[in-house]
A and B are shown apart, each in its own frame.
Chain A
Amino acid sequence: MADPPHRRRAHVRSSDLERYAGLFAQRTQVMRSSAMRDLMAVTARPDVISLAGGLPDTSTFPPQTFAAQMTRIAQESAAEALQYGPTEGFRETVDCIVEVMGAEGMLPDPEDVIVTTGGQQAIDLLCKTLVDPGDAVICEAPTYPGAIPVFCSYQADTIQIECDGEGMRIEELEAALERLDGEGRRPKFVYSVPTFQNPAGVTMSLERRRRLVEIARSRELIVVEDNPYGLLRFGGEPMPPLYQLDGGDFVIYIGTFSKILSPGIRLGWAVAPPPVMEKVVLGKQAADLCTSTLTQYFVREYFAAGRWREYVSSVSEIYRERRDAMLEALERHFPPQATWTEPQGGLFVWATLPGYIDTGDLLAKALRKDVAFVPGQAAYVDDRGRNSMRLNFSAGGEDEIREGVRRIGKTIAEQVELYGALTGEHEAVPAKEPEEAEPNVVPFRKAEGE
């Protein structure tokens, strides 16, 4: 009798591994990962309070609505909903997209819209369309951590421009563009999350938005505006999206239903001028033929009920309360040496610690207290951000947020105090928790025999 098929992959020998190593494409060599991935794997333990994710709270979506919609789809459109669809997406989905963009003052031509498998695929398809190995791509510092692996996998030369409280520093962008001019290089695009940025939580000021669009128009430079959070506003005046300021000539827009409805349906979109769109559609055809038909029906049903704005304002209200809880907890539990952003919307706070704290190592220590966050280095292609962290406030309840921030704060305080003791910047003081101190330990000993 033949051997039954094995549930795990075939046996791998190390000589095979070398053989595989010879097969890997160049672009896999620049994909980052591993240490951080292993650390992040620990954050998934069920007993860990994770402020690391970027998850919307899907428990806020009424299950009855979900059930009723799916039933209606099954009863009325089963065959169509189970079939392939057009690569660009259904016209009805695009109508929903136009409605969502209209809520932020944008009026895209439906012909310019493509439905994608989440906003993430839109980033991937734009890179696939525009980026050759070695091409310059510009983004914010810090930038969306999920964009970095995309830029890396297309072997882009990623240039990061510092952000402050008003978003990307435009004068620094201009300097970088000048520098590239001098090298005879034309950057393929500037990627920006101008509103409630992931990870920094900051929003680009109106003046900078105008300048960025002017630069794009005068230089014929593409700006990719990624706007997943714009409608999740808790305060402040709405800012016009870059797409609106530009009118869609040089600003390519990426949107998503992930934060206003559900990330599980994997529905996002891109809006681009027709010549770019033509290539993006070809790229999408090659990648996955079309976005899930079933979930496009889901969105169609949902929008037909006409209550999506209500839902968005109800989740925004929940997130506002959670943000408040986080900001209060930060004030209370983080040491005075720490600073953090105070987002007017979105899902994230970005905290910056003294330069001697490496938040990757801090995470290892924090995990012993069963709490997790995203170390800042995940948002950079270079060595910057090592003393920063991203904290999410949308996924968990207020008590969990408070407790998580308390534990992280305590971990930081221990490191600040230790550094003080190490540098003599202040007198060594006893650790706050006596149970953590170890009696009967020889403090240090000379290595060579005494």
Chain B
Amino acid sequence: MKVAVLKGGRSLERSVSLRSGARVEDALERLGHEVLPLEADGALVRRLAKERPDVAFVAMHGLGGEDGTAQELLEILGIPFTGPSVAACVRCIDKSLSKHELRAGGIPTPDWFAFNETAFRKLGAADALGGLEERLGFPLVVKPSRGGSALGVKFAKSQSDVPAALVSAFSYDERVVLERFVGGRELAVSVLGGEPLPIVEAIPRAGDSYDFEARYEIGRTSFVCPAQLDDSEAAAVTEAAVAAYDTLGCSGFSRIDLILADDGPQILEVNAIPGLTDTSLLPQAAEAAGMSFERLVERIVDLALAERAAA
């Protein structure tokens, strides 16, 4: 089978994507497929149209690859692709949108406000910031609404930290989310074809939060998989994660990041196309389930083809 691997692109997670892509290509070759590595650049559509792969493996992260853009192009070209649909990508990439969907679906997610830059520039939204303390409390987390990594995510310890944190977050997106900080265990549940994989727990080795540095660096964070949870905790976490996956309309695979707080799980975000690098969580979870990286890749490709056949 001829499999195109889409990678790179212009997003800030470009180098992560290149690592994911290289690893997927490697696995596909071992599986005996004809691999067509494709940089997501100006020649992408032309090359896809010319090469007509049987399926496209989207190994792109962040804006341009994980937000429905690449998926829309593949739809137009009629090429089956891995991972969630255009609509699910659009919902997942935008935290303010996905949090609304989750809350409407009765799935717990920390309280938040979402602001658009225009609100501050033209509507004087700054006057509304005074109410943050009573509504969300401090510290609070300020993050760009769109973007898959921890870039631009800041903790505001008090009201006076908020404007600078907003300026930072607005560097990445025109909309930002101010979210109540929820303390607890940091967990990730990968869902493959609707089925949950073993839960991964991220335990930072240094520093006080799980940051972008730690996320991609061997040795900075320890990951425990399966996470040490009692049966009822594990059930609650898995149930919330699968519900989030279904609510946002994901298919193929996705990763749900959440906090297990004293009063239960709180969904932080759903990554439509989680990393597939050496240090990424989805491959670790698959391995804990007894699934090698090759088998994981094969299953993802099969799901893409099955989806197409069903459509």
Where the two chains meet, the residues of A that have a C-beta atom closer than 8 Å to any C-beta of B are 6, 8, 11-15, 17, 20-21, 24, 28-29, 33-35, 37-39, 41-42, 45, 355-358, 361-362, 364-365, 367, 415, 417-419, 421-424, 428-431, 436-438, 441-449
User: Using Cβ atoms and an 8 Å threshold, which residues of chain B touch A15?
Assistant: 287
User: Using Cβ atoms and an 8 Å threshold, which residues of chain A touch B14?
Assistant: 38, 41-42
User: 21 A-B contacts, Cβ less than 8 Å apart?
Assistant: A6-B26, A11-B27, A11-B30, A13-B283, A13-B292, A14-B223, A34-B212, A38-B212, A39-B151, A356-B163, A367-B12, A418-B167, A421-B121, A422-B166, A429-B121, A438-B117, A443-B118, A443-B119, A444-B125, A448-B111, A449-B103
Tell whether, in the assembled complex, residue B219 and residue A357 are in contact, meaning their CB atoms are under 8 Å apart: no
Tell whether, in the assembled complex, residue A444 and residue B218 are in contact, meaning their CB atoms are under 8 Å apart: no
User: Using Cβ atoms and an 8 Å threshold, which residues of chain B touch A45?
Assistant: 10
Rounded to whole angstroms, the CA-CA distance of A171 and B278 in the bound complex is: 48
Residue B122 at the chain A interface, CB threshold 8 Å: yes
B32 to chain A: closest CB distance in Å? 12
Could you tell me how many residues of chain B have their Cβ less than 8 Å away from some Cβ of chain A? 66
Residue B172 at the chain A interface, CB threshold 8 Å: yes
Rounded to whole angstroms, the CA-CA distance of A184 and B222 in the bound complex is: 37
Residue B229 at the chain A interface, CB threshold 8 Å: no
Residue B247 at the chain A interface, CB threshold 8 Å: no
Rounded to whole angstroms, the CA-CA distance of A445 and B207 in the bound complex is: 33
Rounded to whole angstroms, the CA-CA distance of A367 and B25 in the bound complex is: 28
Where the two chains meet, the residues of B that have a C-beta atom closer than 8 Å to any C-beta of A are 10, 12-16, 22-23, 25-27, 29-30, 99, 103, 111-129, 135, 150-152, 162-164, 166-172, 174-175, 211-213, 216-219, 223, 278-279, 283-284, 287, 292-294
Report the nearest A residue to B110, measured CB to CB: A447
Tell whether, in the assembled complex, residue B120 and residue A421 are in contact, meaning their CB atoms are under 8 Å apart: yes
Tell whether, in the assembled complex, residue B152 and residue A361 are in contact, meaning their CB atoms are under 8 Å apart: yes
User: Using Cβ atoms and an 8 Å threshold, which residues of chain A touch B103?
Assistant: 447, 449
Q: 4 closest Cβ contacts across the A-B interface? A: A443-B119, A361-B171, A356-B164, A365-B171
User: Using Cβ atoms and an 8 Å threshold, which residues of chain A touch B174?
Assistant: 436, 438
Partner of B15, one of A28, A37, A415, A424: A37
Rounded to whole angstroms, the CA-CA distance of A114 and B302 in the bound complex is: 61
User: Using Cβ atoms and an 8 Å threshold, which residues of chain B touch A446?
Assistant: 113, 135
Tell whether, in the assembled complex, residue A422 and residue B129 are in contact, meaning their CB atoms are under 8 Å apart: yes
Partner of B168, one of A12, A28, A358, A367: A358
A133 to chain B: closest CB distance in Å? 17
Rounded to whole angstroms, the CA-CA distance of A17 and B218 in the bound complex is: 7
* With known contacts A29-B219, A443-B116, A364–B151 Cβ distance under 8 A: yes
B131 to chain A: closest CB distance in Å? 9
Report the nearest A residue to B163, measured CB to CB: A422
Tell whether, in the assembled complex, residue B116 and residue A438 are in contact, meaning their CB atoms are under 8 Å apart: yes
Rounded to whole angstroms, the CA-CA distance of A210 and B260 in the bound complex is: 61
Tell whether, in the assembled complex, residue B164 and residue A444 are in contact, meaning their CB atoms are under 8 Å apart: no
Rounded to whole angstroms, the CA-CA distance of A358 and B279 in the bound complex is: 28
Tell whether, in the assembled complex, residue A447 and residue B111 are in contact, meaning their CB atoms are under 8 Å apart: yes
User: Using Cβ atoms and an 8 Å threshold, which residues of chain A touch B99?
Assistant: 447
Rounded to whole angstroms, the CA-CA distance of A352 and B26 in the bound complex is: 45
Rounded to whole angstroms, the CA-CA distance of A444 and B22 in the bound complex is: 41
B263 to chain A: closest CB distance in Å? 16
Rounded to whole angstroms, the CA-CA distance of A430 and B172 in the bound complex is: 20
User: Using Cβ atoms and an 8 Å threshold, which residues of chain A touch B125?
Assistant: 443-444
Rounded to whole angstroms, the CA-CA distance of A10 and B175 in the bound complex is: 42
A428 to chain B: closest CB distance in Å? 5
User: Using Cβ atoms and an 8 Å threshold, which residues of chain A touch B213?
Assistant: 33-35
Tell whether, in the assembled complex, residue B167 and residue A357 are in contact, meaning their CB atoms are under 8 Å apart: yes
* With known contacts A45-B10, A358-B164, A358-B168, A12–B151 Cβ distance under 8 A: no
Tell whether, in the assembled complex, residue A41 and residue B15 are in contact, meaning their CB atoms are under 8 Å apart: yes
Most buried by B among A15, A21, A35, A430: A35
Rounded to whole angstroms, the CA-CA distance of A437 and B175 in the bound complex is: 11
User: Using Cβ atoms and an 8 Å threshold, which residues of chain A touch B217?
Assistant: 33-34
Rounded to whole angstroms, the CA-CA distance of A365 and B135 in the bound complex is: 30
Tell whether, in the assembled complex, residue A356 and residue B167 are in contact, meaning their CB atoms are under 8 Å apart: yes
Rounded to whole angstroms, the CA-CA distance of A142 and B16 in the bound complex is: 29
